[in-house]
Amino acid sequence: MPFYPKNLHNPILKHYYSLKFTNIKYLIAEDEIDLQQAVVTYLQRDGNICEVASNFREASEKAAIYEYDNPLCIINS
């Protein structure tokens, strides 16, 4: 189900939000596999496309080759 604000009853606005927030291509850069998969699962449930990288090198290589709508880097300390 696409994301849109709660209590939004206008069908035109619902359609706008469903187009605006779906099918976004993300690059998820995260070394912790469980967190990586949790983020991917969350984003894919709305129809988004996700690619993952387990380190900076992989993320840099993918970012140089492909175009992403939203690169997402999760840094743990």
pTM: 0.65
Domain parsing of the chain, residue ranges: 11-73
Please tell me the predicted confidence (pLDDT) of residue 4.
46
> pLDDT band for position 7 (50/70/90)?
low
Q: How far is Cα 60 from Cα 26, in angstroms, rounded to an integer? A: 14
Please tell me the predicted confidence (pLDDT) of residue 77.
46
* Residues contacting 70, CB < 8 A, separation 6+: 24, 25, 26, 27
Phi/psi for 3 (5° steps) reads -80, 135
Return the beta strands (E) in the chain as ranges. Answer: 25-29, 49-53, 70-73
Is residue 56 within 8 A of residue 34, CB to CB? The reply is no
- What is the mean predicted confidence (pLDDT) over 46-70? 88
